[in-house]
């Protein structure tokens, strides 16, 4: 079973920590740090799951999420959104835009693993 993930995060330490954690769990992890071309990158990579930061250079994670949900090919793609700002307004905006799950930084390794495994399991069901 395929387990490919695209992580879109501009903070190198966070990206590396998540990449390391998920690679150890058997995921093929590709990283990208720029929001401007993130939708094209996601479309080309065709991952099973995306982890998307809210605040990115070039284009916000919210705008990227909205674009993904407008496209037929990525409409149902599981997206775990990360944010350093945990205000309920951000969570509400993400839910309205179609986020699969929302997580506030800082988070534990166990939280990330559980969220990724859950989202992948849900998406794999017929």
* pTM for the model: 0.95
Please give the pLDDT value at position 89: 86
Ordered by where they begin, the domains of the chain are: 4-124 (3.40.50.2300)
Please give the pLDDT value at position 45: 96
Q: Which two tokens stand for residue 101?
A: 């799950």
* Average pLDDT along the chain, 126 residues, taken 10 residues at a time: 90 96 97 98 97 96 97 96 84 93 93 97 88
Please give the pLDDT value at position 1: 57
Task: Name the one residue in this structure whose structure tokens are 């720029």.
Answer: 34
| Half-sphere CA count of 88, side-chain side, radius 13 A | 0
Alpha carbon separation from 21 to 71, 86, 112 (Å, rounded): 30, 23, 9
Please give the pLDDT value at position 101: 96
């Amino acid at each position: 079973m395929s387990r490919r993930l695209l992580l879109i995060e501009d903070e190198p330490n966070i990206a590396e920590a998540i990449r390391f954690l998920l690679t150890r769990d058997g995921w093929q992890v590709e990283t990208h740090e720029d929001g401007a071309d993130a939708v094209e990158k996601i479309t080309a990579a065709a991952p099973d799951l995306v982890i998307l930061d809210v605040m990115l250079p070039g284009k916000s994670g919210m705008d990227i999420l909205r674009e993904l949900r407008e496209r037929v090919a990525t409409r149902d793609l599981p997206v775990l959104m990360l944010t350093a700002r945990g205000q309920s307004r951000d969570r509400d905006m993400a839910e309205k835009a179609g986020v699969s799950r929302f997580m506030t930084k800082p988070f534990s390794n166990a939280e990330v693993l559980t969220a990724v495994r859950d989202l992948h399991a849900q998406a794999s069901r017929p």
